[in-house]
Amino acid sequence: MPKISTTLLSTIKTPEDVRTLPEADLPRLAQEIREELIRTISRTGGHLGPNLGVVELTIALHRSFSTPTDKLLFDVSHQGYVHKMLTGRADRLDTIRQYGGLNGFLLRTESEHDAYGAGHAGTALSAGLGMATARDLRGSNEHVVVVAGDAALTCGVSFEALNNVASATRRLIVVLNDNKWSISKNVGAVSNYLSKITAHPTFAHLHEQAARLVESLGGKGARDLAHKVESGVKHLLLPSVIFEDLGFRYYGPIDGHDTALLTRTFEFLKTQNEPVILHILTTKGKGYSPALEQPDKFHGLGKFQPETGETEPASSPTYSQIFGTRLADFADHNNRLVAITAAMGGGTGLSSFQTRHPTRYYDVGIAEEHAALFACGLATQGFKPFLSIYSTFMQRAYDMIIHDIALQKLNVALCMDRAGLSGDDGPTHHGLFDIGFLRHVPNLIFMQPKDEEEFADMLWTMTHYHAGPTAIRYPRGTGTGTQPKEHPQLLEIGQSEVLRHGRRVLLVGLGNMVAMAEQTADILEAQGIDAAVINARWIKPLDRQTIEFFARAAEVVCTFEDHVLANGFGCALMEAFAESRIATPVIRIGWPDNFIEHGNAEFLRAKYGLTAGAAAEKILAELHHPEANTNANPAA
């Protein structure tokens, strides 16, 4: 798609420029923004559908509120691209999700207009309430506006915030952006409840009523009419609108793509001295046919053809796709096997399982804690639940993993997609902490495959393990391309795989880093240094017998993991060596003790020394000058 003339968009350097734009020009600005979003994201990848759906809303917000004084919070904030464009960053949009460029989510360090950084759902209501309460305490008058998608209301923390609003602040504006989608189609009673509101025949007239309501902004007539409309809404439903019972004044639903109506409504809501919720109806992917036809695909995707929306097919199935198809295969012969996801059916590859076994597929919405406890209940009744959640989101279920799953030795399988670096999604989505928060949990079996074939074998092994919880971590995208066999094999729990024999150096790789360990061995052997290579497979239980046998003879050990070094896999080896009084120095290849920025994965690995060349260099330095190499210090 050729880049269109962005005459209006190019004049928007600050939010003030949005406020001074004639109302008649707003539809044109919205169209230019959509064209620029499609053009840019087709080349960079990113969250297209959510941003196409909030164009008019974001324009109206910046016409009615004055950032950075007023605070705008976007739940998850993946729909913040338009906000970035209207706050002086439009000329940098083509850098989004690229190293050194704009972040794919809001980031407080990126702009003073980004009031709160977020990459996980359900955070905006609590954070916004905290900001509103702080405003009240200091006696200032800025507005705090929270934009929360309807999917955020399936997240328990959102309801915790809603429960606390009326008692904590006198003034908060919440925009409920109702588009019936999170990443997957919204599910559950909350979604059905909102659908009942919008489907009631009386609401066909509410757009007109809302328009009349804001005609005389701030006047007594507007307030009276507002209360009449609200009262009418409340009495349409039995029970009454839930938000009223939580201490909010409810308005809507109104058209979320009518900028003028949204702007006038916000001007009215600014005069209200009580917490208010504005329910707006939007269409995810508005203005782009491919995104309308496939909302789940265009929620977040890589590069695509802007004319058709087509993406380049992967050279081989991804780990997620293998997970969904293999689990469905296993369920064909095991009616106790069930699959659970937290609003990520497509992302975790479970769409195929849903198609083949719809009665044993459960999408609980954005509710990871509930998903884990729900799995516990199933497990107590003899079922084998596979709980599939991205590594970065599994953190939310940590208490349940310890207190409910592991403590009770329940037969739950934790499947952590996107483990390791998640590249252009950035620090909120990197799965770099799960080894650290799981490897010390009692009763847990924890593993990572080196390739797709071993992945299928591990899944098969998990289905046959009945003595307690199991966990598996696996990376985003494709692996080595080694496709699973038709009939997977059971693996011996706690038994690693020796890939090469050698004496001077021991290289222990975990998961997708085994390939790097083998590349390092090639470099060393080219210099006449023999190296043993072990595919660890098991994070817990660690194969101490095999690894320690090679470690005692080696001059140096090097571990490889796609995880932070602190409390990671390399630390597990060092702890084992200390207990066994093995003095062989250990070099660890992994991520440092800081949040890793967004960018191309290969570039970031090179920057932080996660390459075979960097590993070989450290090993050679230790072999030649052991006393001078601080990297080999087990305490480092």
The enclosing domain of 132 has a CATH number of 3.40.50.970
Residue 229, domain member (yes or no): yes
Expressed as residue numbers, the domain containing 544 is: 497-632
Residue 311, domain member (yes or no): no
Residue 196 — very low, low, confident or very high, per pLDDT cuts 50/70/90?
Answer: low
* Least confident span in 168-177, 210-219, 542-551: 210-219
pLDDT value at 522 more than 50: yes
Residue 186 — very low, low, confident or very high, per pLDDT cuts 50/70/90?
Answer: very low
Residue 281 and residue 328 in one domain:
no
Single-letter code of the amino acid located at 556: V
Q: How many CB atoms lie within 10 A of CB 481?
A: 12
Residue 235 — very low, low, confident or very high, per pLDDT cuts 50/70/90?
Answer: very low
Separation CA 538–CA 593 (nearest Å): 23
Q: Give DSSP secondary structure letters for 172-232.
A: -EEEEEE-SBSSSB--SHHHHHHHHHHHSGGGGGHHHHHHHHTTTTTSHHHHHHHHHHHHH
**CATH code, domain carrying 503:** 3.40.50.920
| Beta pairing, strands 531-535 & 497-500 | antiparallel
Residue 419 and residue 541 in one domain:
no
What's the rounded mean pLDDT across residues 90-98?
A: 95
Three-class SS of 127-147: HHHHHHHHHHHHCCCCCEEEE
Residue 298, domain member (yes or no): no
Residue 149, domain member (yes or no): yes
pLDDT at 410: 98
pLDDT at 290: 86
What six digits make up the tokens of 259? 């900028």
Positive or negative, the Cα torsion across 184, 243, 167, 69? Answer: positive
Single-letter code of the amino acid located at 224: D
- In this predicted model, what pLDDT tens digit does every residue of 589-628 receive, in sequence order? 999 999 999 999 999 999 999 999 999 999 999 999 766 4
Instruction: For residue 484, give the DSSP letter.
Output: P
Positive or negative, the Cα torsion across 356, 365, 117, 435? Answer: negative
Residue 502 and residue 467 in one domain:
no
- Cite the active site residues: 284, 368, 396
Residue 229 and residue 366 in one domain:
no
As beta bridge partners, residue 558 has 507, 587
pLDDT value at 232 more than 60: no
Contact (CB, 8 A) for 281 and 57: no
Residue 192 and residue 273 in one domain:
yes
Residue 195 — very low, low, confident or very high, per pLDDT cuts 50/70/90?
Answer: low
Residue 383 burial (C-beta neighbours within 10 Å; 0-12, 13-18, 19+)? middle
Boundary of a domain, candidates 277, 293, 309: 293
Residue 189 and residue 282 in one domain:
yes
475 vs 198: which has the higher pLDDT:
475
Boundary of a domain, candidates 409, 438, 473: 473
Residue 485, domain member (yes or no): no
Residue 312, domain member (yes or no): no
Residue 411 and residue 557 in one domain:
no
| Beta pairing, strands 413-417 & 384-390 | parallel
What six digits make up the tokens of 151? 């999917």
* Residue 253: cis peptide before it, omega within 30 degrees of 0: yes
Coil, strand, or helix at residue 459?
helix
Distances from the Cα of 175 to the Cαs of 158, 342, 396, 522, 626, in angstroms?
A: 13, 23, 25, 57, 61
What's the rounded mean pLDDT across residues 564-575?
A: 98
Residue 503 and residue 462 in one domain:
no
Residue 149: which H helix or E strand, with range?
strand 144-149
Residue that has been written with the tokens 């005692």 in this structure = 552
- In this predicted model, what pLDDT tens digit does every residue of 301-359 receive, in sequence order? 888 888 888 888 777 899 999 999 999 999 999 999 999 999 889 999 999 999 999 99
- In this predicted model, what pLDDT tens digit does every residue of 12-28 receive, in sequence order? 999 999 999 999 999 99
CA-based nearest residue to 584, from 611, 550, 625, 621: 550
Distances from the Cα of 198 to the Cαs of 180, 216, 227, 249, 252, in angstroms?
A: 11, 26, 19, 17, 9
Residue 375, domain member (yes or no): yes
pLDDT at 483: 86
Q: How many CB atoms lie within 10 A of CB 459?
A: 25
pLDDT value at 221 more than 60: no
Residue 521 and residue 415 in one domain:
no
Residue 559, domain member (yes or no): yes
Distances from the Cα of 206 to the Cαs of 197, 271, 281, 297, in angstroms?
A: 11, 21, 12, 32
Residue that has been written with the tokens 């909350």 in this structure = 190
Residue that has been written with the tokens 């941003």 in this structure = 51
Residue 468 and residue 581 in one domain:
no
Widest CA span of the chain, in angstroms? 89
What's the rounded mean pLDDT across residues 455-462?
A: 98
Instruction: For residue 580, give the DSSP letter.
Output: H
Q: Which residues of 326-344 are buried (b: 16+ CB within 10 A; e: fewer)?
A: bbbbbbeeeeebbbbbbbb
Contact (CB, 8 A) for 57 and 262: yes
Domain count, the chain: 3
Count Cα atoms within 13 angstroms, Cβ side, for 285: 19
Residue 68 and residue 175 in one domain:
yes
Residue 75 and residue 113 in one domain:
yes
Coil, strand, or helix at residue 66?
coil
Single-letter code of the amino acid located at 161: A
How high is the mean pLDDT of the chain?
Answer: 89
Q: What is the pTM of this model?
A: 0.88
Boundary of a domain, candidates 259, 293, 327: 293
As beta bridge partners, residue 341 has 363, 388
pLDDT value at 217 more than 90: no
What's the rounded mean pLDDT across residues 70-75?
A: 96
